[in-house]
Amino acid sequence: MSFQRMGRKTRTTSNTGRSQSVPAGEVFHRFCVLLHFSHRSAYRPGVSKISSRVLLRFPQRVKNRGTADFLPVKPRHQWEWHSCHQHYHSMDAFSNYDLLDVVSHEKVAEGHKASFCLEDTSCDAGVRRRYACTAHIQGLSPGCYDTYHANIDCQWIDITDVPPGNYILKVTVNPDFLVAESDFSNNVVQCDIVYTGMYVDTQNCRITSF
């Protein structure tokens, strides 16, 4: 897997309200800090009332750069219906989202394991989409991308208790190595973040080791 840098540094103010596939992800520089009011959340589905929270939102795009399909390990009858996303999730922990202290690299916000459906959201020219977020068939074809936009529930880290400062956003795909790949050395991307309490500046997104 590899992560490709896209876009420029973005400043966003807060708002209220056994294959050998090699997936590659693109973490966009469209970060958003917002005040979140919700009675329903994919992050904590058992909670009926949630107070206001501050969320760091970001999109993620993963590409299969290998020669074989990237397929979920769990059999179809074990896939779980995701009530907020309104589709079945075939992987319990497709991605980890962590916010780290820039000096110690310790987590300053609780690490988030995002469950996913797997589908061919888009593909390179000449490649046909074959997988979709249904209960019948999921996966990621070679030359295709699985995209989760920043406005989708679970595409965030709760930073309510995080003070302003310098941090690192770390995104890890296939973190538990459950799906075989020909190369795991490019499964992690880290971006430098400056959080002011009102907005974030992001820069220097790069591929790193586990």
Per-residue pLDDT reduced to its tens digit, 8-36: 333 333 333 334 444 444 444 444 555 44
Q: Is residue 94 part of a domain?
A: yes
pLDDT in tens, 34-43: 544 443 444 4
Q: Is residue 6 part of a domain?
A: no
Q: Is residue 188 part of a domain?
A: yes
Q: Is residue 38 part of a domain?
A: yes
As given in the structure block, the two tokens for residue 156 are 């965030």
pLDDT in tens, 149-208: 888 777 789 999 999 999 999 999 898 888 888 888 888 999 999 999 988 888 999 988
The strand ranges marked E within the chain are 11-13, 23-26, 32-38, 50-57, 60-64, 80-82, 87-89, 91-101, 107-116, 122-123, 144-148, 156-158, 165-173, 188-195, 199-208
Q: What is the reported pLDDT for 36?
A: 42
Q: What range defines the domain where residue 54 resides?
A: 18-208
Q: Is residue 9 part of a domain?
A: no
Total structural domains within the chain? 1
**Cα(81)–Cα(89) distance, rounded to whole angstroms?**
6
Q: Is residue 72 part of a domain?
A: yes
